[in-house]
Amino acid sequence: MPAFRYEALFADGKNKTGVMNADSARAARAELRGQGLTPITVEQIASQEQTKNQLGLFADKLSSTELSLFTRQLASLLEAGLPLEQAFSALLEQAERIYVRDLIAAIRAEVMAGHSLSEVLKRYPRDFADIYTSLVASGEQIGQLARVLSRLADFIERRNALVQKVKLAFTYPAIVTVVAFAIVIFLLAYVVPQIVSVFANTKQHLPILTVIMLAISDFVRAWGIVVAILVIAASWCWLQLLKNPEVKMRWHSWLLSAPLYGRFERSLNTSRFASTLAITIGSGVPILQALQTSRDTLSNVAMRAQVDHATTAVREGVSLARALSTYQYFPPMLIHMIRAGEVTGDLPAMLERAADSQQQDLERRALTMAGLLEPVLILVMGVVVLLIVLAVLMPIIEINQLVR
């Protein structure tokens, strides 16, 4: 039974909007009239399959916060004993954004039609990733959907918290960089030429620093836009070049061993891998499928390739710890925790501890890198501005000396 978004009027003229399920638009209007309402508009809520080709990159979707809230609320309602249909009805009443309300209504309509929740969620890939639908399917199979959704909500909340901390750590250096670059460009393009041109017209012999600064200023004014276009074009070409699998593999392999950033890249991907593997195995997903799902969360293709090789080895009967220890990118701590989990039979708990350790290491490295960037950026900015000020003041100082 499809879902319809409607707008109707009460007898006293007050407006009402909402979502309802009906066999057709005509049936929805008839039901509204039966409730004493005068329908104004009744529109069927389109599925993502019907709209994704039209919307493209600008398609709306659930934010990470909305996904976390949706999962937590659904888990709480199911744990309270509400049937799935009533749980979605309660979520529909609490939804604030139109897109979220439409999405919940569409899911509820398809669930009421007899489809499983995991099957329905797979039809909305922009909002629900493969790991999400896989875990929901696992919860349905073992009859523990509420427990699996609760663990999934914990997983999403921890991931959101980690992303937020990393973003906050690098927000200040990014702002300082942009502001510093804008100030330097402004000084070179407008301030320096207007001030120094006064001394140039007097045919005074200018200091070498002032001459260099004037040359840089002339270059910025004459070729600044061209340089900006070339930088944008080079960035676009680099992105196109990274579409080549071999080039991307080499680049990502280098990132893992890059000075300073390499440990950060490894910690980020290891944390994702361990936390995803912990929740998938702990939710009853077979280990081969869990490895594939965890592999898809990695952003580094070199580490993805290693997981593929490890998955093949596990399929042939090799233990997971031994399969991963063959490669160098996963930290020894993770290997040891996996080996301990395999020996004790409590692999999910050990993976969660490893994920927590990697998240703490990632936070520490992010704060360290941000802490190093801040004084370096301020120092560089100060030196550049000092050079510009000296380039302007040195001719003035020379004139004062001549007058004396």
| Mean pLDDT taken over the chain | 81
Predicted pLDDT of residue 399: 65
Give φ, ψ of 11 to 5 degrees: -65, -30
pLDDT at 404 over 70: no
Residues 332, 311: Cα–Cα separation, whole Å: 18
Sign of CA pseudo-dihedral 336, 338, 342, 347: positive
For 6, the enclosing helix (H) or strand (E) is strand 3-9
Predicted pLDDT of residue 297: 82
pLDDT in tens, 281-315: 887 788 888 888 888 888 889 988 989 998 999 99
Angle at 304 between CA 339 and CA 284, to 5 degrees: 55
pLDDT in tens, 1-34: 566 767 777 777 777 776 666 666 777 778 778 7
pLDDT at 230 over 90: yes
pLDDT at 361 over 70: yes
Please, are residues 281 and 148 in contact by the beta-carbon 8 Å criterion?
Answer: no
In which band, very low, low, confident or very high, does the pLDDT at 53 lie, cut at 50, 70 and 90? very low
Predicted pLDDT of residue 233: 95
pLDDT in tens, 177-189: 888 888 888 888 8
Residues 267, 361: Cα–Cα separation, whole Å: 7
DSSP 3-state of 319: coil
Residues 307, 273: Cα–Cα separation, whole Å: 9
pLDDT in tens, 74-98: 999 988 888 888 888 888 888 778 8
Predicted pLDDT of residue 204: 64
pTM of the model: 0.69
More confident residue, 377 or 45: 377
Angle at 36 between CA 30 and CA 41, to 5 degrees: 55
Indicate the length of the chain as a whole number: 404
Percentage, residues of the chain above pLDDT 90: 5
In which band, very low, low, confident or very high, does the pLDDT at 55 lie, cut at 50, 70 and 90? very low
Tokens 């049937």 -> residue: 83
Residue 138 structure tokens? 């696992």
More confident residue, 91 or 56: 91
pLDDT at 280 over 60: yes
